[in-house]
Structure 1
Amino acid sequence: MRCSNHDATHTLILSAHGDLSEHWATASTNCPPIRLVKELGDQNIVQIACGDQHAMALSRGGELFTWGRNTHGQLGVETQTTFIPQPQLVKSIKGIPLAQIAAGGAHSAAVSLSGAVYSWGKNDFGQLGLGDTKDRSCPSYIGALEHWKTVFIACGADHTAALSKEGLVCTFGAGGAGQLGHNSTRNELRPRVVAELCGARVSQIACGRWHTLVYVPSLDKVYAFGAGEKGELGDRPNQLIPLPIDSPVNTGKSPQGNNTSQKVTEIIAGERQSIVLCKNENSYLNGIATLKDEDVDAWISNSSLQRRWKSIKKNIGLIFSSEACINGSFLEKRDKHFKTSKEFSGIDLSEVQRFYKKICTKPKVFEEVQNVIKMLLLPSLSSSPISPENFRVYLILPFLLQGEDDNSFHCLRLLAEAIMKLRTKDLKTLECLWSNLETSFFEKLVVLYQKVSQKNLSEFITEVTHQQRNISALQPRETVTLQILQTLYQVNSRTGFRVQESKFYVAEVKGIILCCWVAAPGLSAIHKLTKYPCIFDMEAKTMIFSMERQVLSSPFNDALFALMFHEQSVLTVDRHRLLQDIWTYLNSAQTSHFRKILMVRFVGEEGVDEGGLSQELFSVAARSLCQPHSGAFRILDSGVAWFPTQVSSGDDIFFRIGTLCGMALYNGRMAPFPFPKALYKKLLGLEPTLEDFKELLPDEGWNLQRILDEESDQYLESLDMNFTKMEEDGSIVELKQNGANIPVTKDNRKEFVDLYVNYVLNESIQKPFGDFKKGFLRGCPAGSWKIFLPVQLQIILQGHTKYDWKLLQKNVIYIQYGMLDQTIKNFWTVFHKLPEEKKKKFLAFLTGSDRIPGYAQENFTFAIKDPGKENPDEFYPYANTCSRILFLPRYSSKKILKKKLLYAIEHNETFPLR
C-alpha cells in the first residue's frame, strides 16, 4: 500500500492490488470524505502525488492524470475551470517517459527518465523555476535544469527541490522560512544549488510545507532546513542552512535504544512533520513500462504457449500503444541519454535493430507488435510535442517497421502522415535529430522510405494502366512518403551528402511520366511530383523538362498533338555581327516568342538547324562575351566568369545575357559560360557558402578558412582586421554598421566570414545578377528547370569538360561501315593519339561545340558514314553538325587519314556543308 498527502486535508491511497482511493478530511458537495477513484480503474497506476487540494496519478502506460482544485492551473490541462473532480489526462506531456511526479501546495512537477523537468501551476514565488512569477496552466520545461541529470523532484507549499544523479541538490521558489537552504530568506526564481551540501552525495530529498529534508547515505544522516516552530526540524527553530536533525539514525541508536544503526530507506516531509523510515529492505518508485531484455526473451520463448500468449499480448499492447513507453525504451547506456536535446536523441538505435532482429525470429510476436503500433499508437501520436524526448518515437518506429510486407509499408506511410502533421518548428527539430544520426542509420531510413514510395507509385501506375484510376488522381496518401524523402534529402545536403543521391531515386516516376506523355490531365500529376525533385534521376528530370517545353511550344492544348506540333521562332544572324543580331532579336521579341522552339539561320549558308546551328550560336556568343573587350564579365584568376560590382543603372547587358542563357536551357543547348556553381545556386534560391567562395577566389577563400580554423587569439589580433573589405579600386566597404571600428576576434570571426562571403557573392552584385535572373526567367518560360540541382544545371548549360573518349567510341553508329573495317580501326588509332586540345577541336568540328551535352554524356553519340567518294585520298573528312555525321572517306593509310583529319579540324571545314 502506498499513501500520498501534502497536508491533512487530502490523502491518496494506492493499494497493493492497484485500487486507488481518495480521502478528504472535510467533506463537501463536490468531495465526499472517501471515494474510490473508479475513473482510473482500468489504469495500472504506479505513482501518486497530492497537493493541497489536487491529486496526480501516473499509469504504467506512461499517462499522467490530474484532478481537484485548478485555481492556478496546477492540473496542467489548459482550462480555466477552477475545480475538476474527475481525473483528466495531461495531454501536453503525453509521450514523455516520466520517471517521477510531485505535487506542491498549488503547483506540480514531473521528471522524465532522461532528467528533463517540467513544472506548472502557481508561481508567485518562482516555485516553477522558470525565471518569472507567472502561473502556468500547461507543463513547461525548466531550461535551467537542462543536463542537470535530475532523478527526483519534491514540492513544498511554495518551493521546489531537485536532486541530480550525482547527488547535488538545487532549490527554488519561496525562501522566507529558509526552506531553500541558501542561508537567506530570499525567493529564488531559478534553480540554485544548495552550496552547503556540495561534496555530500545526497540520495533522497523531501519537501514539507515550509521545510526541506535531505539524506546523505555515506554519513547516514538526515539534514533539514526551513521552518521549525512545530518541530519539523527536531528540536531546532527555523534553519537557513542544512544541519543534521536529532534522530535515532543520526545518533547511531535504534528506536529500541540499542546501538544497532539502521539505514534510512525513505524520508517523508509532511505539512508540519518529518518522518524517517528505517527498514531492512529498500523501497523504490514504481515506474512506467519499458522494454527489458528478459521480458522480450520471455515473449519469444513462450509465444507458442497458449496459456501465456494472453499475458504476452497484454504486455506488448501496454508498451507499443504508448508513446511514453517507447520513448523510455532503448535509452543510451552509461547515462548518455541525460544529454537528450534537439541535437541528440538519447536513444541507441543499434538496440532498436537488435530488438527488431530478435522479434523477427517469431512472426507471431512481430505481427502483434506491428498491429499494436498500427491500430493504437500511430493514430494517437501527438502533433504538438513539447520535449526532445517526444521525438524518439519518430526515430525508433521506422526501424521496427522495416519489413518488406504490405503491412510494414502501410505502417510506414501512416508514420509519414504523422510526421508531416508536426508543426514547422517541430519538424525542424526532427530534421536536426535526423542530421545527427549515424550515417548507416540515416541511409537505412532513406532506403525504407524510398522503398515504400516505390510501392505506392507502382500501385498507382498499375491502377492507371488498368483504367481504375485517372492519371491526375494522385492522392496525398501516395505522396506523403515522397515528402519525407525530400525532407531527408534536404537534411542529407546540409550534412555533406553522406548518402548517395541515387538512394533517393524512385524509378517508378518514369512510368508516370510516360503515362503523362499522352494524357493532358497527367500534367497535374507531374506537377505534384516535381515538388519532390530528389526522387528523379537526371534522365527523369530531363524528360519532365522536355515534356513541359513541348507543351508550351505547341499551339495545341492536347498533349498528344503537342508532341507532334510545335511553333518555331527563327533567328537569322550574320557571323560577322553575331552579337548585334542576337541583341536586336531579343530587344524586339515578344514574351510569346520564347515559348517557341528556336531555329537559327546563318546569313549566306544553306544549313538547316537540327540542333547544330543553334548550338554553335550559343557557343560563339558565350566565347565572345567572355573576351575582355566585351566588358561584360570579370574573368577571375580562377578562370570563372563573375559579375562586375560597378554597373550603370541603364545598362541591360546582363538582362540580355540572362535571356540568352535561359533560351539555351529551354532549347536544350549549352551556353558554355565559365560560371561557378554559386551562380546556379543563386538562380535556384540557395545561399552560396564559403566553399562556393573558394571556387571563385581561392586565395581569399582559404584565408577566410584559416581565420575560422585559427586557435590563437593573439594571432587574430595581430592581423588587425575589422568588419570591412577593400574593393579593387581601393575603396573601403563596411560589412556591418560601424564595421571599421569592430575588430575581428575569435568570438565574432564566423560572423565576419559570413558577412564577407555574403557581400562578395550577393550584395556587391545585386544589380547585375538581378538583371541576369530576370532575363533568365524570360528566356526559359518552363518552370520545371528548378527541379535540377545547382551542379546539374551547371552541367546542362556548360556541358561536360571531362571527356570519356572511350565511351564516345563505344557509342558511335556506323553507316556503310563496320566496326572492324580497316578505315574505322585506323581512325580510332589516329584519334586516340591526338593531343587533348585536338580532340576537343574535333568535337567542335563535328557538333558546333567542344563540349559534350551535360544531360546525356553516357548516351552522347555521332555517326561515321562512308560518303562513297572516288579517289578518297583527295577528299577531306567533313561533318554535318545538325545530324552529327562525320563523312569519312576510305583512306589508304593512317598517315593520310591523320593529315586530312587535322586539316579539317584546324580549318573547321563544316560551314558550307551544313
Structure 2
Amino acid sequence: MLFGRLLPTLHDAEFCDEKLLLAKSLQASFGAATHIRLMPFSIAEIIQLSKTLKEISLGLVDLAFPETRSNLNEHYRFVLGHSDFDLKKMYQQKQVWANLLKVVVFVLNQIHTRDLRLGFCPETHWTVSRLDLPLDRPTDLPLTRGNRTRGIRPFQPIRDFTREDFENGPPMSTKQIRSITILREIPFVVPFSKRVGILQGLVAADKMRVQGNYQAFLQGPSIILKVRRSHLYEDAYDRLRPENEPDLRLKFRVQFISSLGLDEAGIDGGGVFREFLSELIKTAFDPNRGFFMVTTDNKLYPNPDVADLEPDFERHYYFIGRILGKAIYENLLVELPLAEFFLTKLAGKYADVDIHQLASLDPELYKNLLYLKDYEGDVSELNLDFTVASNSLGHTQVVELKPNGQSIPVTASNRIEYLQLMADYKLNVQIRKHCVAFRRGLSNVLPVEWLYMFSNKELQILISGAEIPIDLVDLRKHCKYGGEYSLDHPSIILFWSVLESFNDLQRRQLLKFVTSCSRPPLLGFKDLDPPFFIQNAGDMERLPTASTCTNLLKLPPFTTEEQMREKLLYAIQSGVGFELS
C-alpha cells in the first residue's frame, strides 16, 4: 500500500536512472540536472514485481467472482466466508479481500502507465495468452455500465434479478463477469489485437441494431448530405447539428458540390463518404481553423484561447467529437497526430490528467518545474507567486492559480502545491470545457467506456493506424481480381513487381487512391471491406482509375514495367477526386 502511494508522487527522472532516460531520448524533457532516484527498487525488480502483481490480480479476479456451483473448492469457501464464521467476520473478510484487489490493481496500473512513457518492460511483458475471453461473442461483454452489470461487486454475492433486469438480458455468467472486470481494470493483459476485435464486434452489433441488416449500400435508413468542397466544415457543421441529425450512427450518403457549383459525378457507395469524413476531420483539426494548436513536436490539442475566436466553441468541440467518434465507429483510419495528454483524456476514465503528462504539452515548462522541485537555494528569491500569465491575441492576462494567488509567494514549503496547480491549469483548467464537450460528442456516437480498454498510445493507433510499412504479402494474399485478370496474368505480375519497387510513401499513395486511406487496416487486409479489387480497364491509353466505394482499382493491361510504373505514379500522385471514376 505504501509503495502504491509513493508511485504517483515520483517523476520519471526520480523513478529510473539517467541511462534509461537517455536510451528513450527523454533526457531533454527533464533537463541536464542530475535528479536523485527515489525509487527503492531497481528496474529489474519492478519488472519482476509487476509480473507477480499481474498474476495475483488475475487470481483475485477469479476468487472475487467464483463459480456458483455447489462444489466450490476450499479456496473459494475460505475467501468468501463459506464456513462457520459469524456474519460480521464474514463481512470483514470480504472487505479485506476486496480492498486487496483494489490495491493490487492500482499499483499494477501505475507501473503500466509508467512503462507506457519509459518502455522499460519487455515487449510482451503485459499480455497473458491463457485468458479465456468470449471473443467470438463480443456482445457478451457489456462494457458500458448498465442494468446488466448493476450491483456486481467483487467478493459480494450476486443480487437477485428483478423483472426489469431480465428485460435487459439474461444474468451474466461468471466467465462474462470476470472478463468484463479484466477489460475494465487491467485491460493491458489482453493482447491489443483481441481488444480491437472486441471493439469491432461491439460496433458491428450496434450497427445491426441501428442500421438494420441491409447489405446493399443504397438500402436502409441514412443521412443525405450535400456539401460544398470549398465550405466543407461550415456545411457539415450546419447540416449535422444534433437538432438536425441526432444519430450519426446511421449510414451517410454524401454528394459533393464542386467549385463550379455543380454536383460531382458518381453515386456514393461508401467511398465518397470516406473521403468526406477524412477531409472533414482534416479541416476541423487544422490549426489554421483555430480549434486546435500544435505542441513543439507537432501534436494536436484543443486551443485554450478559442473563446476569443468563437464564443460558441463548446458546440464546435461537441461536433468535432462526434465526427471523430463516427470515424472510429466506421473503422476509418485518419492521419491525426493527437497530443499524448489529450489522448489520455479521451481514453481515460477521468477527464483530468496529472503533472506526469505535462511533458507531452510543454516540455520546457515541465523541465522548469522539475528544476524548481529540486532547487536547493532560497526558493523565495525566485520571485514566483501563485499566478500564470495567459497570452491571447496579443493580450496578456494574469490568472490566479488559487484565491488571492497574486499575494502568495512560492516558498520551499509550498512549491509542491505550486507545481501541481501550474500543471493542473495547463493540462486541465484552461481546456476543461473544450474536452468535456469533445468527450460528450464522442460518446454520442461511440460509448466512451468502449475506449477505456485502450491506452493513449493504443487509441492513437485506433484513430490513425500503426506507423508500419504496408505489407505487400498480406495485400496480395487478400486481393481479388475481375474480368480477365488473375494472379498469374502478365499485367498483374507486372503490377506486383512495380509495387515491390515502390517506396513506402508511394505504396501509401496507391492505397489511398484505391481505398481513400493511406494506412492498412488495424488487423490486416483480411478486414478490408470490400476487399482490395483489381479489374481490367480495357484501354491501355487510359490512366488507372479507382472506385473507392468498392476499393476497386481499374487497371489497364499495361505490357511493360516502365509503362505500368509511369502510369500508376501519375494517377496516384495527381490528387484528383472521385470524378475520375
Cα distance in structure 2, aligned partners of 1:653 and 1:811? 43
Closer, same or farther: CA 865–544 of 1 in aligned 2, 3 Å: closer
Offset of 1:641 from its aligned partner?
1.7
Describe how 1:379-418 pairs up with structure 2 within 5 A.
410=73, 417=80
Contact map agreement 1:572 1:602 (CA 8 A) in 2: yes
Q: Which among 533, 538, 545 is matched to residue 202 of structure 2?
A: 545
Cα distance in structure 1, aligned partners of 2:91 and 2:126? 22
Cα distance in structure 2, aligned partners of 1:810 and 1:705? 52
Contact map agreement 2:535 2:552 (CA 8 A) in 1: no
Tell me the alpha carbon deviations over residues 669-690 of structure 1, each in whole angstroms, 9 at most, x when there is no partner. Answer: 3454432232232233334244
Unaligned runs of 5+ in 1: 1-342, 345-393, 435-485, 556-560
Offset of 1:495 from its aligned partner?
5.8
Cα distance in structure 1, aligned partners of 2:74 and 2:245? 49
> Is residue 572 from structure 1 mapped to residue 226 from structure 2 by the alignment?
yes
Matching residue's letter, 1:571: L
Contact map agreement 2:386 2:406 (CA 8 A) in 1: yes
Contact map agreement 1:713 1:746 (CA 8 A) in 2: no
Cα distance in structure 1, aligned partners of 2:91 and 2:237? 48
Cα distance in structure 1, aligned partners of 2:343 and 2:171? 26
Partner in structure 2 of residue 693 of structure 1 = 358
Cα distance in structure 2, aligned partners of 1:776 and 1:887? 37
Cα distance in structure 1, aligned partners of 2:71 and 2:417? 47
Offset of 1:510 from its aligned partner?
1.4
Partner in structure 1 of residue 251 of structure 2 = 597
Q: Which has the higher strand share?
A: 1
Tell me the alpha carbon deviations over residues 88-141 of structure 1, each in whole angstroms, 9 at most, x when there is no partner. Answer: xxxxxxxxxxxxxxxxxxxxxxxxxxxxxxxxxxxxxxxxxxxxxxxxxxxxxx
TM-score of the superposed pair, with normalisation by structure 2? 0.65
Partner-residue secondary structure (3-state), 1:600: strand
Partner-residue secondary structure (3-state), 2:549: coil
Closer, same or farther: CA 619–677 of 1 in aligned 2, 3 Å: same
Contact map agreement 1:634 1:641 (CA 8 A) in 2: yes
Partner in structure 2 of residue 778 of structure 1 = 444
> Is residue 768 from structure 1 mapped to residue 447 from structure 2 by the alignment?
no
Closer, same or farther: CA 777–864 of 1 in aligned 2, 3 Å: closer
> Is residue 887 from structure 1 mapped to residue 544 from structure 2 by the alignment?
no
Partner-residue secondary structure (3-state), 2:255: strand
Closer, same or farther: CA 513–768 of 1 in aligned 2, 3 Å: closer
Cα distance in structure 2, aligned partners of 1:577 and 1:530? 44
Tell me the alpha carbon deviations over residues 234-272 of structure 1, each in whole angstroms, 9 at most, x when there is no partner. Answer: xxxxxxxxxxxxxxxxxxxxxxxxxxxxxxxxxxxxxxx
Q: Which among 286, 289, 312 is matched to residue 650 of structure 1?
A: 312
Contact map agreement 2:439 2:448 (CA 8 A) in 1: no
Offset of 1:643 from its aligned partner?
1.5
Contact map agreement 1:570 1:599 (CA 8 A) in 2: yes
Q: Which among 517, 521, 526 is matched to residue 849 of structure 1?
A: 517
Contact map agreement 2:281 2:323 (CA 8 A) in 1: no
State percent identity of aligned pairs.
Answer: 20
Describe how 1:249-288 pairs up with structure 2 within 5 A.
none
Cα distance in structure 2, aligned partners of 1:705 and 1:783? 34
Contact map agreement 1:594 1:780 (CA 8 A) in 2: no
Describe how 1:132-531 pairs up with structure 2 within 5 A.
410=73, 417=80, 427-428=98-99, 431-432=102-103, 434=104, 490=109, 493=112, 496=115, 500-503=125-128, 506-513=131-138, 521=169, 529-531=179-181
Partner in structure 2 of residue 586 of structure 1 = 240
Offset of 1:766 from its aligned partner?
1.8
Aligned length: 454
Matching residue's letter, 1:713: E
Q: Which among 621, 625, 648 is matched to residue 284 of structure 2?
A: 625
Offset of 1:627 from its aligned partner?
3.2
Offset of 1:591 from its aligned partner?
6.1
Contact map agreement 2:138 2:198 (CA 8 A) in 1: no
TM-score of the superposed pair, with normalisation by structure 1? 0.43
Cα distance in structure 1, aligned partners of 2:71 and 2:362? 51
Larger radius of gyration: 1
> Is residue 901 from structure 1 mapped to residue 568 from structure 2 by the alignment?
yes
Offset of 1:851 from its aligned partner?
3.2
Cα distance in structure 1, aligned partners of 2:349 and 2:342? 10
Offset of 1:706 from its aligned partner?
4.4
Cα distance in structure 2, aligned partners of 1:408 and 1:791? 44
Cα distance in structure 1, aligned partners of 2:176 and 2:249? 19
Closer, same or farther: CA 746–545 of 1 in aligned 2, 3 Å: farther
Q: Which among 536, 553, 557 is matched to residue 867 of structure 1?
A: 536
Partner in structure 2 of residue 17 of structure 1 = none
> Is residue 616 from structure 1 mapped to residue 308 from structure 2 by the alignment?
no
Cα distance in structure 2, aligned partners of 1:583 and 1:769? 18
Unaligned runs of 5+ in 2: 1-39, 42-55, 64-68, 82-89, 143-166, 258-262
Partner-residue secondary structure (3-state), 1:601: strand
Offset of 1:538 from its aligned partner?
2.3
Matching residue's letter, 1:792: E
Cα distance in structure 1, aligned partners of 2:459 and 2:433? 22
Taking only aligned residues, the RMSD between alpha carbons, in angstroms, comes to 4.4
Cα distance in structure 2, aligned partners of 1:636 and 1:910? 31
The higher relative CO (CA closer than 8 Å, separation ≥ 6) is in 2
